[in-house]
Amino acid sequence: MSNRFDDKVVLITGAGSGLGRASALQVAKEGANLSLIDLNEEALEETKSKVLEVAPNAEVLLMTADVSDEKAVEQYVNETVEKLGKIDGFFNNAGIEGKQNLTEDFGSEEFQKVVNINLNGVFYGMKYVLKVMKDQGFGSIVNTASVGGIRGVGNQSGYAASKHGVVGLTKNSGIEYGQYGVSVKAIAPGAILTPMVEGSLKQMDPDNWEEVGKQFVEPNPMKRFGKPAEVGYLVAFLLSNEANFINATVIPIDGGQSYKY
C-alpha cells in the first residue's frame, strides 16, 4: 500500500515541539521527506530523532531560524527547494501566546512581539512558499490559527489579533492561488495539551496548573484536552492531495467548544 506522502516534501515551522512535532511524525510515517524549522536547535534534533524512529528512511533537513525574520524565511524556503527539490506541503505553524493581560495592561512591546511571530511570520512563510508552489503548479499550505482566531478568548490581545489575521491571510491567499492548483487552509485548535498550553496554565497557577487544566476543559463538550497527535492527523489529511478542494477556510479542532452557546 502506498503512502499519501511518498516522494513528497513537507516544510514545517515550529517543528521542535507541540503541533509541529506531532505533524512531522505523522507525515513522516506516511512517507514524507521533511524540512523542519524552529528557533530551538536542541528541540529540532529531538524531533528528528523521533521522526527517524518511526520513519528510518525519511530525509530530514533541519534549520534553526526565527520566522519573524523575513530574510531567514526566504533562506530556509530556498534551501528546502535546493536540497529536497520542491515543497508539496507547508505547515506554517510557529507561534507564541504572549503574556496574558487585559488590553489596557497588555504591553505594546509584547503585542508587537506576538504579532511579529504569529502574523508576520505566517505572512513571510506564505509569501515565499506560495511563489514556489505557483511555479510548481501544485501544493498545499496549512496555517495554524486558533479558536482565538475565530472567537474572543480574553486576556490575549496580541494572540487574538494575530490569529484573526492568520485567518484573513488564509482566506485571501486561498482565493488568489486556487487557480494555480494550490490550496490554503487554516486549522483552529482549541485546548490541545502542548508545551505552549501547559505554559499558559502555569501562568494562571504555577503550583496547581494540572488542577487549573481540569477546570479549563470542564466547559468542553468532550471534557478533555485534545492530543497533539489528533491535530497531526488533521494536518496530514489537509496537506495531502485528498484535501486539495478544501481551500480558503478554517477547520476548528476543539471538541466542539467554539460552537457552544
- Per-residue cell: 116: 511579529
Catalytic residue among 159, 177, 233, 261: 159
What are the CA-CA distances from residue 91 to residues 13, 56, 94, 139, 260 (Å)? Answer: 7, 22, 9, 11, 28
Position of cell 466547559?
Answer: 219
Classify strands 249-253 and 89-92 as parallel, antiparallel or unpaired.
unpaired
Annotated active-site residue 159? The verdict is yes
Complete edge-to-edge strand list for the sheet that includes strand 249-253 = 60-64, 33-38, 9-13, 89-92, 139-144, 182-189, 249-253
User: 172: part of which helix (H) or strand (E)?
Assistant: helix 157-177
Q: Both ends of the chain: CA-CA distance in Å?
A: 44
Position of cell 476543559?
Answer: 217
Q: What is the DSSP letter of 137?
A: T
- Per-residue cell: 88: 508539496
Q: Catalytic site residues?
A: 159
